Amino acid sequence: MRSIPPSGPGAAVSPYRARRRVLSVLAVLVCTGIALVTVTDPYAGATAAPFYRQAVLSKQTGVQRFAIEGGYALVSLKRDAYTVEIVGSGGGGAAATAPSGPVAPASVAQAYAAGLVAGRGWAASEFGCLVSLWNRESGWNSHAANPSGAYGIPQALPGSKMGGDWQNDYRAQIRWGVGYIAARYGSPCGAWAHSNAVGSY
């Protein structure tokens, strides 16, 4: 006759059963952990480095205010055009015009660039990145020349690829520079992040 092992609260537990219980508990915990990782995103709080962030391309409308050297520029957008008004920095509220001297003041060049940035539908923060980038590159000097051959506000290399009166016309330089940034980096903040990471753009 077979003996039946004692059962109940006072009965001894065999080592085999104890290991089996521990393994069962561990299996349940592992399955629960896998289910939780599958259901929740472990990277939900992570953010991409600024270099990899996509530009905000919401179409801006109405009047936008862009900080420029010594004041600010008001850019008014209409369907197929824009107007720029410089406030402060000697602009006296007059519309931005071509400079009378050989080098345009930084505020005039920045006001022109603000209009181009707004015209592309980029957010005002993109203009801040452009100002920072070109402050570092040329100080917004349309005659800035680098020993490497880079020239102008955007430091094009060679400068002749900007076309038109590339040696003197800040507008030609800025149009080329904004187009280059859009094509290569997607936005001024993308170019600024690349410049911070590499040292140039």
Whether 6 maps to a domain, the answer reads no
The reported pTM is 0.53
Residue 78, domain extent: 51-198
The reply to whether 113 and 175 lie within a common domain is yes
Tens of pLDDT, residues 12-40: 667 778 888 888 999 999 988 887 776 76
- Coil vs helix vs strand at 75: strand
The reply to whether 117 and 190 lie within a common domain is yes
- CA torsion through residues 81, 87, 90, 93, sign: positive
Whether 8 maps to a domain, the answer reads no
Q: Is the predicted pLDDT of residue 63 greater than 80, yes or no?
A: no
The reply to whether 156 and 99 lie within a common domain is yes
Give percent of the chain above pLDDT 90.
Answer: 16
Count of structural domains within the chain: 2
Measured in degrees and rounded to the nearest 5, phi and psi for residue 18 equal -65, -45
- Please give the pLDDT value at position 97: 35
Name residues whose C-beta falls within 8 Å of residue 107's C-beta, 6 or more positions apart in sequence: 68, 69, 70, 71, 73, 86, 88, 89, 90, 91
Residues 52 and 115: beta-carbon distance below 8 Å: no
Q: Is the predicted pLDDT of residue 178 greater than 90, yes or no?
A: yes
Tens of pLDDT, residues 92-129: 443 433 333 467 788 888 889 988 998 888 888 889 89
The CA distance from 63 to 164, in Å, is 30
Q: Is the predicted pLDDT of residue 169 greater than 80, yes or no?
A: yes
The reply to whether 172 and 151 lie within a common domain is yes
Tens of pLDDT, residues 46-55: 555 555 555 5
